[in-house]
Amino acid sequence: MEYLVKSFLLLLIFAYSAATPVTAAINGNVEKNGISGDFNQVIDSQTKNPVSQADIALPSRGYKTRTDNQGRFSLGAKVDAPTIMSVQKDGYKPFSLTVDKNSMSKPIVIGIEKTNPHDIIIDKDMYHIGDDNYSANSANADEFRIKAIGPFYTKNFKIGNLPPNEDVYLVIGSVIGIDTKMARDMGQSRVTTTYASPPQIFFNGNMIAELNLNGDNQQIKIPRSIIRINGNNQLTIKSGKNLFQMAYIDYDDIELMNLFIETNSQIASDE
């Protein structure tokens, strides 16, 4: 089966250095307006204006905070292993980002996008799929705090009209914990002795992709022929299995967040 998984940065994420560049040219009496550079910030990706009162969470930690009037926030929780951070604000697309010790060592600026009428948000909660039985060396094992819902996730949802002649994509906001051979070879998993089959994604009963890597904003093309326009559709995600455990079935424990459907024009407009 052919499938397409494109890693795609929907949103502008850039880190800026807190350090003042050492330059010979000092411009007069310009003061540094009290900006310490210790804050992360959420901005509107179009207008670049700060977004205040956005909800910031590390769902697996049960940690929550909000941005202030300047869109600033600081994380009161220590982040070591990769962890999913979510940003939610009414009127904006739910956003998530995998953060770790390195990415949080400097302030980050996160651009979030306004929702548009064609958005189909399937789910904006976090799920742990698997069996709660995992190696301490598994990708992100340190971060599993929410209980597994079992070896698969499934959700029914309606799709109204879609723009004609446009490709349709399932977007997975963030996924961590995948222990495939590819994830191991890419250094995403510290499990060295075993690996798992990839999680499989089904749309209306058809397998449309296997997920081999952890990451943010993975896009999977959904063939239009299997989409039920103006009808009920079903998304199912099955976790992989440890290929080296023969005595019993050991499902690969993963966490994922933010599932939605987008079409070409939306993706193009994101750029």
Complex with Ca ion: residue 254 or 261, whichever CB lies closer: 254
Judged by CB under 5 A, the stretch of 6-14, 46-54, 55-63, 248-256 that binds Ca ion is: 248-256
Provide, rounded to whole angstroms, the least separation between the CB of residue 177 and Ca ion: 9
What does the H/E/C string look like for the chain? CCCCEEECCCCCEEECCCCCCCCCCCCCCCCCCCCCCCCEEEEECCCCCECCCCEEEEHHHCEEEECCCCCEECCCCCCCCCEEEEEECCCECCEEEEECCCCCCCCEEEEECECCCCCEEEEEEEEEECCCCCCCCCCCHHHCCCCCCCCEEEEEEEECCCCCCCCEEEEEEEEECCCEHHHHHCCCCCCCCCCECCCEEEECCEEEEECCCCEEEEEEEECHHHCCCCEEEEEEEECCEECCCCCCCCECCEEEEEEEEEEHHHHHHHC
Please report, as residue ranges, which positions from 127 to 166 form the binding site for Ca ion (by CB under 5 A): 130-131, 133-134
200 forms beta bridges with 210, 238
Complex with Ca ion: residue 194 or 217, whichever CB lies closer: 194
167 binds Ca ion (CB under 5 A): no
Number of residues that bind Ca ion (CB under 5 A): 7
Give the one residue of 143, 179, 216, 250 binding Ca ion; rule: CB under 5 A.
250
Complex with Ca ion: residue 22 or 246, whichever CB lies closer: 246
260 binds Ca ion (CB under 5 A): no
Judged by CB under 5 A, the stretch of 39-47, 97-105, 118-126, 247-255 that binds Ca ion is: 247-255
Provide, rounded to whole angstroms, the least separation between the CB of residue 129 and Ca ion: 10
Complex with Ca ion: residue 93 or 128, whichever CB lies closer: 128
Judged by CB under 5 A, the stretch of 18-26, 102-110, 175-183, 243-251 that binds Ca ion is: 243-251
255 binds Ca ion (CB under 5 A): no
Complex with Ca ion: residue 133 or 232, whichever CB lies closer: 133
Amino acid at residue number 218? Q
Complex with Ca ion: residue 133 or 265, whichever CB lies closer: 133
Residue numbers at the binding site for Ca ion (CB under 5 A): 130-131, 133-134, 250-251, 253
